[in-house]
Amino acid sequence: MEWSFLSNFGITLFALLNPLGMLPIFISYTSRERIKVQRMVALFVSLTVMGLLLIFMLIGSPMLQFFGVTINSFRLAGGILLLIIGINIVNGNDSSAGKNLLTPENENDLTQAKSVYRQIVIPMAMPLLVGPGVIANVILYANEALAKRGGLGIELIMMTIIVSFFVFAVLVLGKWLQQVMGDIGLSITQRVMGLFVAAIGVQFIVTGSIDIIINNLVPKLKG
């Protein structure tokens, strides 16, 4: 599988997951927890994200076929969605808000981490991290891989695992990153990621439109 294809997938997926943008929310959820509890919660959330990504990667195409949606139609819809999400990220529009969670101090770290995880997995893992744009992106790239090689390939799955690890790294280093980069640095990084998302969305729209014109409209006009 081409490295450019894999790298584009990884960059776009990380940008759409936007763990940097979700940092303030994650920190607000776990700010009163012990450091070990915070790390365990970050691990649980990241594993959930990875599981959701792999599920949509594996069953996304059969879902499209079941609902009778062509890949080009989904590409156009996904492109429009990515463009809107990218614009919102660049503009800094985020209506999400976290809240402090309190758990009993006498619980051990694992039990307390599980308790916090159960309270924040929805909405933290989904839909804040794995949202509609992420799902559309995973399905589109999975279909591209199927078209090029006839199978997903271990490379695409490994890239998904690597991106999930980076999500974990960002969450587990959340407070440190916030101190180093500051609110302004995090905001700038988030907006750069949003620009990538918007650009990929435009590319999906262009590709889907061209394919529809060539494969659907042109044959009808000739006929």
Query: Mean pLDDT of residues grouped by 10 in the chain (223 residues)?
Result: 86 90 80 87 96 92 82 82 82 55 66 91 83 85 79 84 96 82 79 80 86 81 71
| Cα→Cα distances 80→70, 204, 223, Å | 16, 8, 31
Q: Is 18 left (phi over 0), alpha (psi -120 to 50) or beta?
A: left
pLDDT tens per residue across span 68-110: 888 788 788 878 887 887 888 788 765 444 445 555 555 688 9
Mean pLDDT of all residues belonging to the chain: 83
The two structure tokens encoding residue 102: 């309190």
| Cα→Cα distances 127→68, 70, 81, 174, 178, Å | 25, 24, 14, 19, 23
Q: What pLDDT was estimated at residue 89?
A: 76
Q: What pLDDT was estimated at residue 204?
A: 81
According to DSSP, residue 103 is labeled -
According to DSSP, residue 175 is labeled H
